[in-house]
A and B are shown apart, each in its own frame.
Chain A
Amino acid sequence: MTRAEFMGRLKQGLVGLPMATAAEIAADYEAHFEDGAAAGRSEAEIAAALGDPGRLARELRAEAGARRWGQEQTASSAAGAIFAILGLGAIDILILLPIVLPVFGTMLAMLLTGVGVFIAGGFVLAVGPFVGAPGGVLGAVLLGVGLMGLGLFMGGLFALLTKWLIDATIWYARLHYRVLKPALEPQPVVQA
């Protein structure tokens, strides 16, 4: 592989990252080729020692995704981090599916219950005082506000659990990062 081919495949793999980050990464690898050339190595030698550019790009994207999640906890950064990590193959989704599905189901049920309780509270608060609820006007108002509070609390708990779950997923994936794999895989072929 020539330097141009390597850089082309690397940049292709980095599409979707912020421009500045991708440029910085590309500059790192360009500098590597410069230093290698200065040390008297051929482009093909340097590219072979660097490893598969597609795989390197996936690792760099996963790293960038995890970092972005660390800086801003938004739905898009969470999705970015998780998809980047899935792309890396660090988490085998088929093995994890039986564990992940019930967890997500529970979380979703909790969120829906929270929303339902909140709406019910609002309904009791708005309608209760006029239809002669058993506790009287004050009872209906208190019950309504109480239910809305409970709904908010459940929503907050859901948000907290979700953040914790995503943190745990990223932590797990980083732990199982196969950093050396691309470089070590061709090794046995060379020796054999």
Chain B
Amino acid sequence: MPETIEIQLKKGVLTLCVLALLNRGDSYAYEIASTLSDAIDMGEGTIYPLMRRMQADGQVETYLVESSSGPSRKYYRLTDAGRRALEAQTAEWRAFVRAVDAIVDAPAAPAATPAEEGAEQ
């Protein structure tokens, strides 16, 4: 199942992505959902359980903005706890990417030595 690792990876970084988006500026759920669904292919509906969870964890808070057309819109902004979570998760993400890159991009030098020996024989 090639999709499995992809699902696990996306699941892991979804919170980080939302934190990073909100750090750039306050936003509303539709905007967050469409940005993330374009970028990492996530289901738009899942943003609502996630936002409620982040709100329960105290990482984001909401406020209403009056709209010229229709009902007022619910905006999300980062709390101090959210900013701390963003810092911590960003550091974890960077360290993880570095570690994986180091393995994936490692030069194939060790494998070349036995091959050369084989050629000499």
Q: Which residues of A contact B (CB under 8 A)?
A: 25, 28-29, 31-32, 34-36, 39, 46, 49-53, 56, 59-60, 63-64, 66-67, 70, 174, 177-184, 187-188
19 A-B residue contacts at CB 8 Å?
Answer: A28-B48, A31-B30, A31-B74, A32-B29, A34-B70, A49-B44, A50-B43, A59-B49, A63-B53, A67-B56, A178-B7, A178-B11, A179-B11, A179-B46, A180-B10, A182-B43, A184-B3, A184-B7, A187-B3
A183 contacts which of B30, B45, B52, B71 (Cβ < 8 Å)? B45
A35 contacts which of B14, B30, B45 (Cβ < 8 Å)? B30
Contact yes or no, B3 A60, CB < 8 A: no
Interface centre among A63, A177, A178, A181 (most CB of B within 10 A): A63
Contact yes or no, B29 A182, CB < 8 A: no
A60-B52, A180-B7 known, 20 other contacts, Cβ within 8 Å: A25-B48, A25-B52, A28-B29, A28-B74, A29-B48, A31-B29, A31-B30, A31-B74, A50-B43, A60-B49, A63-B52, A63-B56, A66-B56, A174-B53, A177-B11, A179-B46, A180-B46, A182-B45, A184-B10, A184-B42
B45 contacts which of A51, A64, A70 (Cβ < 8 Å)? A51
> Which A residue sits closest to B55, measured CB to CB?
A67
B73 at the interface (CB under 8 A from A): yes
Shortest C-beta distance, A118 to chain B (Å), equals: 38
5 A-B pairs with least C-beta separation: A183-B43, A50-B45, A35-B30, A51-B45, A51-B43
B33 at the interface (CB under 8 A from A): yes
- CA of A181 to CA of B46, assembled, Å: 9
Contact yes or no, B74 A49, CB < 8 A: no
B50 contacts which of A53, A67, A179 (Cβ < 8 Å)? A179
Shortest C-beta distance, B53 to chain A (Å), equals: 5
Shortest C-beta distance, A96 to chain B (Å), equals: 20
Shortest C-beta distance, B8 to chain A (Å), equals: 9
- CA of A66 to CA of B73, assembled, Å: 27
Interface centre among A25, A51, A183 (most CB of B within 10 A): A183
A-B contact count (CB 8 A): 89
B26 at the interface (CB under 8 A from A): no
Q: Using Cβ atoms and an 8 Å threshold, which residues of chain B touch A182? A: 43, 45-46
Q: Using Cβ atoms and an 8 Å threshold, which residues of chain A touch B34? A: 39
- CA of A63 to CA of B56, assembled, Å: 9
Shortest C-beta distance, A33 to chain B (Å), equals: 9
B30 contacts which of A36, A59, A177, A188 (Cβ < 8 Å)? A36
Q: Using Cβ atoms and an 8 Å threshold, which residues of chain A touch B56? A: 63, 66-67, 70
- CA of A70 to CA of B52, assembled, Å: 14
